Structure 1
Amino acid sequence: MSDIGARLRQARQAAGVSLSAMAARTHYSKSYLGNVETGRRAATVDVVLAYEHALGGDVDRRTLLTGAAAGAVATTAVSELVRRGFAAALGERSSDDDWFGRVEAYGRDYMSVGAADLQARLAGDLVVLQQHLETPLRWGAAARLMTVYGKTMPATGGRRGAVTWYRMAAIAADRSQDSAVRVWVRGRAALALGYEGAALPVARDLAEQALTLSDLPSLGRLNALMAMAQIAAVDGDRSTALTTLDTARRVFDRCGSDDQISDFAVPEWRMATFTSMLLSRLGDPRAVEAQDTADRTRPASLPRFATHIELHRGLMAAKTGDLAGGVDHARRALALLPVQRHSLSLRLMMEEIERAGA
């Protein structure tokens, strides 16, 4: 049994949770978790964080799992980060255009690459970029990369959590001296939290900052408005949620994206996905139209986002009275998506559906 797997098993048993119950809580299969605990499969950071989230706030267990999370980052990965940092310091410096290209590539990769792989690559480039923050443009690149990095983290993870990264990204964005970057970073971070229904006071604060910084139509403003709409929906404020959604749609009509596959873009299918989540939370039958639009317009190469829509259908069913059917539909949809493509957003959504159907 690997040391990390043993720690995970010890934490689970200390909490009095069976392997079957852990599988249900984390939405990994029982056999997969059993193989991780016995060392037959490697324990990824995603799995460790799923255990930590599932086992709650017990100090002893969380201390145990923090050690496991550190162990999940292999020595070779740390060595590679150090090597890349020194290679960058000793070698030819990348231009602003080079960094802009990397940022755009990460925006595309976020849509399809698993969180663990994306984390490792982003960490390497952030280590390098730290040494080259001589211009406002570099700070802008750093702010956008830090926002994407935060989206691979749990919202509540202490100093390693998404909220910490989003706040640092906002500071970096301010140093870019670019209003569009400042608004986008805050708006996107707010929407990430609002969509997940997590850290809502932080989401509200970031969204309000974005909306105050500029009233010009932009993707950042669109994200911030959708964040405020999601927050209202979670709070059960139907009127505010729908009014804010209408405002966001008017902004989308002016600045929606042609680019189909990037976290820095909001094309029609993605706006429909955000709308679907909002309306499903409200139990509004118009969610069906948004879901159909998302399925019709979304590129076929994005199965994770197809699963988002299926979970929205499960949430809609649960909210409108078919509690067991909604939960079952969502669980089956999540099970069809390969484990390596699962995301924290999907797991949190599954938990929201289960609460609605409780």
Structure 2
Amino acid sequence: MGPEILRRGHLLGGVMAGNPELGEQLRATRNEAALTQADMAKRTGYSVTHVTNMECGRRSIPDDVLLAYEEAHRERTDMRRRTVALGGAAMLIAPEAASRILTRGFDALLGSTPDNDDWNEHLYRLGEDYMTSGASVVQSTLAADLSVLQHAVDAPEMWAVVAKELVVFGKTTKGPADAIRWYRKAAVAAKRSGDRDTQIWVAGRAALALGYEGAATPTALTFARQAIELSNGAPSAGLLNALMGYTHALATSGHHREAREAWDETQRVYDAVSPTDEITDFNYPWWRFAVVGSLLHARLGDPKAEQWQGEIAAHRPANMVRFETHAELHKALMIAKGGDKEGGLTYGKTALEALPEDKRSQSLYLMLDEIRGV
């Protein structure tokens, strides 16, 4: 059952989102185990209504719910019937994610202290995967991580890991409203960590994600100001994120002079931070900084956008294909702002359609919407 479902379904954050077929399989499994929805509500921690909605395909089904159904079935049926009915819930999620759920979960149950260095190394690798493969690839792993971490956080430094994972997870969601909810949870987790650098990074990264997308500008400004105030002027990756988000939020809200002034400060902080060339979502090498500069100046209607696009072309790694599409959409925005809206929109659509669908991101679609609205 598992591989077949994965071929037909859409794996989203370690869950099958709105999948009636999977819900029906779970209902059949529960019935075979002679359990009620109320029984499963107690086992999973969800309400009976929520369990009903999951079985009817109206709600997404988290990894821990899949495992709860498998456990219940194992307790009430023999091995043969379990294999036929469910085929192993762990097969419905990535084997690596299932292994992490079980390993971390039993560590917490047995009182073992999670290895913070291991989690941070894992988080860094997720940042690499996010950049090279895209949001959909890391979403299931993040969901698996978070399903464990919510039960295993027992030290301030672990709250720092949770906060950063929540931010990255928010970036994999399908709309600004969903992303903001996760960013706000991340801010709470960052505060619980007691680490100011984490708080600055979380607020700054949220500001940049929203600011670059031109979405929820007031919220982007709020996050940016929080990070800037917390930093007290000390250069850091978090402050750099905040300033990049701040400049874009100012530009999209019509405060062009202030945006230019903020960009000057952003460049000074960039020079002070001196990011490396490593490709991870937690780093801004020169070519990626140029992507931010290109869109900013396109939004300002400033010809300097072309200079930044030249920097992208000169320094972008060959495997970072979707960022070439970013630059092409920036050109499309310049065309539209120059008076040829239809030409800009056609150029933008062509650029986006040339990128494989699994490489497209929310940012690119929002950028195309921005061109339409010029």
TM interval, short-chain normalised: 0.7 to 0.9
In the other structure, the counterpart of 1:298 is: 316
Q: Please list, as runs of the form range in 1=range in 2, the aligned pairs for 1:1-358 lying within 5 A after superposition.
A: 42-43=9-10, 45=12, 70=60, 76=89, 77=92, 84-91=100-107, 94-157=114-177, 161-214=178-231, 215-356=233-374
Q: Deviations over 1:151-200 (max 9, x none)?
A: 0113444xxx1111101111111122222111011001011001111111
In structure 2, how many angstroms separate the alpha carbons of the residues matched to 1:344 and 1:68?
Answer: 23
Change over 3 Å in CA distance of 1:173–1:309 after alignment to 2: same
Structure 2 contact 206–220 (Cα < 8 Å) conserved: yes
Greater Rg by CA: 2
Change over 3 Å in CA distance of 1:71–1:140 after alignment to 2: closer
In structure 2, how many angstroms separate the alpha carbons of the residues matched to 1:351 and 1:333?
Answer: 14
Amino acid at match of 2:352: L
Percent identical residues = 41
Structure 2 contact 214–252 (Cα < 8 Å) conserved: yes
Q: What is the DSSP-based 3-state SS (H/G/I as helix, E as strand, rest coil) of the residue aligned with 1:70?
A: coil
Question: Mind listing any 5+ residue stretches in structure 2 that lack a counterpart?
Answer: 1-6, 19-52, 67-88
In structure 1, how many angstroms separate the alpha carbons of the residues matched to 2:311 and 2:59?
Answer: 39
Q: What is the DSSP-based 3-state SS (H/G/I as helix, E as strand, rest coil) of the residue aligned with 2:345?
A: helix
Q: Deviations over 1:193-227 (max 9, x none)?
A: 01111111111111111011012011111111111
CA RMSD across the alignment: 2.8
Change over 3 Å in CA distance of 1:44–1:101 after alignment to 2: closer
In structure 2, how many angstroms separate the alpha carbons of the residues matched to 1:44 and 1:332?
Answer: 28
In structure 2, how many angstroms separate the alpha carbons of the residues matched to 1:89 and 1:131?
Answer: 8
Amino acid at match of 1:126: L
Q: What is the DSSP-based 3-state SS (H/G/I as helix, E as strand, rest coil) of the residue aligned with 1:112?
A: helix
For residue 136 of structure 1, report the CA deviation from its aligned partner. 1.8
Change over 3 Å in CA distance of 1:207–1:307 after alignment to 2: same
Structure 1 contact 187–206 (Cα < 8 Å) conserved: yes
In the other structure, the counterpart of 2:50 is: none
Change over 3 Å in CA distance of 1:313–1:271 after alignment to 2: same
Q: Deviations over 1:228-286 (max 9, x none)?
A: 11011101221011111111001001103113311111111111111111111111100
Structure 1 contact 230–241 (Cα < 8 Å) conserved: yes
For residue 130 of structure 1, report the CA deviation from its aligned partner. 2.1
**More deviation in 101-110 or 128-137?**
128-137
Structure 1 contact 45–69 (Cα < 8 Å) conserved: no
Q: Deviations over 1:93-146 (max 9, x none)?
A: 541110010111111111122322211111001112223212222111111111
Q: What is the DSSP-based 3-state SS (H/G/I as helix, E as strand, rest coil) of the residue aligned with 1:263?
A: coil
In structure 1, how many angstroms separate the alpha carbons of the residues matched to 2:360 and 2:180?
Answer: 20
Structure 1 contact 210–221 (Cα < 8 Å) conserved: yes
In structure 2, how many angstroms separate the alpha carbons of the residues matched to 1:267 and 1:69?
Answer: 40
Structure 1 contact 256–268 (Cα < 8 Å) conserved: no
In structure 2, how many angstroms separate the alpha carbons of the residues matched to 1:156 and 1:193?
Answer: 7
Amino acid at match of 1:192: A
Structure 2 contact 119–161 (Cα < 8 Å) conserved: yes
Change over 3 Å in CA distance of 1:68–1:275 after alignment to 2: farther
Structure 1 contact 155–198 (Cα < 8 Å) conserved: no
For residue 43 of structure 1, report the CA deviation from its aligned partner. 4.8
Amino acid at match of 1:118: V
In structure 2, how many angstroms separate the alpha carbons of the residues matched to 1:301 and 1:283?
Answer: 29
Tell me the TM-score normalised to structure 2 length: 0.74
In structure 2, how many angstroms separate the alpha carbons of the residues matched to 1:89 and 1:71?
Answer: 18
Structure 1 contact 304–337 (Cα < 8 Å) conserved: yes
In structure 2, how many angstroms separate the alpha carbons of the residues matched to 1:139 and 1:89?
Answer: 17
Amino acid at match of 2:270: F
